[in-house]
């Protein structure tokens, strides 16, 4: 699926009103690229590799190694940001398979950067009304070399997502929820599908887009996607709960955050009482 002309393209829109967005995309569960949603962000002009290197180059960052078609929790290294930037600009994905991905810590270390963006008018996160412990931390930053890959996946908790492209270009392949049965639990590589292992993938019909600096993509909850950097890239992203994904997002948040918190309270209480066994301990062991 590497030839763009063979694939239908995600709509590209400018001067899109909130009403048009809700009616034509959000309510229908359709992705869209909005080309002028972040034109007033200071980050669009200031967040460059040179800027990050000169202002935050001494910061230690977590870089994720891509190996065997996946990222693994034990394949994370710490690196000085300036060194990582030098490395990613001098290499491509085959020689530098490392990615700063889904990183909120960097932005919390340097909170002045949060003034360089604002959530676009199309998106309001209903998690704002929930206790802080039930929310994940956003926004998050991605910084990586040419060729960096985010493998096929569906976003956490069934949430909607937006991603703003600040530096470089990214190619997206997106699959609607009704094609999940063709994706083999997201183990297939859409760019190099093994049809012997994944024969049903022949029936998949993705949308494609290439986004560049100043573009913002909206990804509805439940849409699987794979993303490949065509250049060295910097992106900012957030997931959120809103109309169209409220049910799965809330259900998953309660299961993951609220129940985990309740189990932790039970565990801590049992420890204080000196209990040797805790009911449901096989569940607690997964925390």
Residue 102 near residue 142 (C-beta atoms within 8 A)? yes
pLDDT at 5: 47
Of the candidates 159, 128, 117, the residue with the CA atom closest to the CA atom of residue 252: 159
Which CATH number applies to 4-244? 2.60.120.650
Q: Say how far apart CA 22 and CA 270 lie, in whole Å.
A: 48
Give the separation between CA 42 and CA 45, rounded to whole angstroms: 6
Dihedral (CA of 187, 193, 196, 201) sign: positive
**Is residue 286 over pLDDT 50?**
no
The 10s digit of each residue's pLDDT in 175-216 is 999 999 999 999 999 999 999 999 999 999 999 999 999 999
- Domain chopping of the chain, boundaries: 4-244
Report the relative pairing of strands 12-13 and 32-34 from DSSP bridges. parallel
Residue with tokens 């925390």: 287
pLDDT digits (tens, 9 = 90+) for 50-78: 999 999 999 999 999 999 899 988 899 99
| pLDDT at residue 24, rounded to an integer | 98
Q: What is the pLDDT of residue 284?
A: 36
């Amino acid at each position: 699926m590497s030839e763009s002309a063979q694939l239908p393209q995600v709509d590209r829109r400018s001067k899109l009103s909130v009403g048009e967005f809700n009616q034509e995309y959000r309510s229908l569960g359709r992705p869209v690229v909005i080309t002028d949603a972040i034109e007033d962000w200071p980050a669009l002009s200031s967040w460059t590799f040179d800027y990050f290197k000169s202002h935050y180059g001494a910061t230690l960052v977590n870089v994720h190694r891509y190996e065997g078609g996946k990222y693994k929790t034990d394949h994370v290294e710490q690196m000085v940001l300036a060194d990582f930037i030098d490395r990613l600009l001098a290499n491509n994905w085959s020689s530098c398979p490392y990615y700063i991905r889904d990183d909120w810590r960097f932005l919390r270390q340097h909170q002045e950067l949060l003034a360089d963006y604002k959530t676009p008018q199309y998106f309001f996160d209903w998690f704002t009304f929930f206790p802080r412990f039930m929310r994940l931390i956003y926004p998050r930053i991605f910084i990586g070399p040419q060729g960096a890959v985010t493998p096929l996946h569906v976003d956490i908790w069934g949430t909607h997502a937006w991603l703003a492209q600040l530096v470089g270009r990214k190619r997206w392949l997106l699959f609607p929820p009704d094609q999940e049965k063709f994706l083999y639990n997201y183990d297939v590589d859409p760019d190099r599908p093994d049809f012997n292992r994944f024969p049903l993938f022949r029936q998949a019909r993705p949308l494609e887009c290439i986004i560049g600096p100043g573009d913002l993509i909206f990804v509805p909850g439940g849409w699987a996607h794979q993303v490949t950097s065509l250049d060295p890239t910097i992106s900012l992203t957030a997931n959120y709960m809103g109309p169209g994904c409220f049910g799965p997002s809330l259900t998953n948040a309660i299961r993951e955050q609220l129940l985990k918190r309740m189990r932790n309270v039970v565990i801590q209480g049992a420890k204080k009482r000196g209990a040797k066994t805790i009911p449901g301990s096989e569940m607690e062991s997964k925390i």
